[in-house]
Copies of this chain bind each other. A is one copy, B any other.
Amino acid sequence: MIEARHLRVLRAVARTGSFSAAARELGCTQPAISQQMKALEKSVDTPLVVRSGRGMQLSEAGRVLLKHATGILAGLSAAEEEVAAIAGLRAGRVRLVSFPTASSTLVPPAVARLRDSHPGVRVSLVEAEPPEALAMLRGGECEIALAFRYPQCDGAVALPAPGHGTPREARAEANLEAQQLTAGTDWSDLVVTPLLDDPMVGLLPAGHPLAGSGGAVELAELAGEQWIAGCPQCRGHLVELCAAAGFEPRIDFATDDYPAVVGLVAAGLGVAVLPRLALQSVRPDGVSTVSVRTASGAPAVRQVVALTLPDLAEVPAVALMLERLAGSAGGR
């Protein structure tokens, strides 16, 4: 088996015309060159150099091998360079999958700042709801999945050191609590980068009695209202929240189109609870917004996170993108 090392030696010998000079060029001793050449000649089973008194020349086999060596070593350098470009954030691509709200709020500034600092790294974005995004992540169709979950307790999830060889146990332990509390989101084998605790905002018709109550309401105060729900996952969360507050919401309308929710509330058809992030890109005409507290008194939040695989967290471009996303979310 011919190794690249052999070809490097052969090339140096051919270039310099002597073993000693080749050794100097490659930064090793002359016997090393001598042995490498002998090993190469043994592996191809034919002489490669012809010593004639003082000078030395390549045999025909040596010339043929050298002819190939240049191309092979050039290909090797090209490969090294291209991989180094990816590792050095001068090239590469990060495929992002995000749910709609995030892709219109968190993602754009993060991508813009990544492009400014590292123009060679390209980012692609596909929209998908968290369950599908997770499947794409596990299936190798993307590097980062943005998702959210609704922790029902106030304690913040322990923060795993993002992207630097976090042991499996630590991650599992960190996610254990949240995992047990929110069904269907087993992230124990993933690297979870918390981005944002997105507070839930109550939407009331403009003339609602609680609209002026200092901007904060208990969920139980809305027990008798008609409700307008969002996406299936949001609806499920709403029901859980209300159950914790001791009632079951009457839901007459459900839509995952946030402007529609606002319109329905403004028309006096009910009240709603939306993540604040979702409201950012919707003009809240004819509605009042109030903060919502859970039964325990703490504000209700939706936790927005970026997910990736442990191996992918080691990829520089992925780690950088995660950093940018965290930075983009941090200001909110």
**Contact mask for chain A residues 1-42; partner B; CB cutoff 8 A; 1 contact, 0 none:** 111110000000000000000000000000000000000000
Q: Is B309 within 8 A of A50, CB to CB?
A: yes
Q: Is A50 within 8 A of B316, CB to CB?
A: no
A76: interface (CB < 8 Å): yes
**Contact mask for chain A residues 42-83; partner B; CB cutoff 8 A; 1 contact, 0 none:** 001111011111010101110011001101100110111011
Binds B, one of A84-92, A230-238, A259-267: A84-92
Which of B4, B64, B69, B75 makes the CB contact (< 8 A) with A68?
B75
Of all chain B residues, the one with the shortest Cβ separation from A44 is B83
Q: Is B49 within 8 A of A65, CB to CB?
A: no
Q: Is B83 within 8 A of A140, CB to CB?
A: no
Q: Is A44 within 8 A of B80, CB to CB?
A: yes
**With A72-B72, A82-B68 as given contacts, are A46 and B140 in contact (CB-CB < 8 Å)?**
no
**In the bound complex, how far is the Cα of B48 from the Cα of A80, in angstroms?**
13
Q: Is A72 within 8 A of B69, CB to CB?
A: no
A189: interface (CB < 8 Å): yes
Which of B46, B65, B80, B140 makes the CB contact (< 8 A) with A2?
B80
A276: interface (CB < 8 Å): no
**In the bound complex, how far is the Cα of B52 from the Cα of A307, in angstroms?**
13
Residues of B within 8 Å of A137, CB to CB, are: 52
A154: interface (CB < 8 Å): no
- Residues of A in contact (CB 8 Å), total 50
Q: Is A64 within 8 A of B83, CB to CB?
A: yes
Q: Is B4 within 8 A of A50, CB to CB?
A: no
Residues of B within 8 Å of A53, CB to CB, are: 138, 189
Which of B49, B61, B86 makes the CB contact (< 8 A) with A60?
B86
Residues of B within 8 Å of A311, CB to CB, are: 47, 49-52, 59
Of all chain B residues, the one with the shortest Cβ separation from A59 is B315
**In the bound complex, how far is the Cα of B92 from the Cα of A121, in angstroms?**
49
Min CB–CB distance A46 → chain B (angstroms): 4
**In the bound complex, how far is the Cα of B309 from the Cα of A49, in angstroms?**
11
A312: interface (CB < 8 Å): yes
A323: interface (CB < 8 Å): no
**In the bound complex, how far is the Cα of B57 from the Cα of A45, in angstroms?**
38
Residues of B within 8 Å of A80, CB to CB, are: 2, 44
**With A4-B4, A68-B82 as given contacts, are A87 and B46 in contact (CB-CB < 8 Å)?**
yes
Residues of A within 8 A of B (CB): 1-5, 44-47, 49-53, 55, 57, 59-61, 64-65, 68-69, 71-72, 75-76, 78-80, 82-84, 86-87, 92-93, 137-140, 189, 309-312, 314-317
Listed A/B pairs (22) with beta-carbon separation below 8 Å = A1-B5, A3-B5, A4-B4, A45-B84, A45-B87, A46-B316, A47-B315, A50-B309, A51-B311, A52-B137, A52-B309, A53-B138, A57-B140, A59-B315, A60-B93, A61-B83, A61-B92, A68-B78, A71-B75, A72-B75, A72-B79, A75-B75
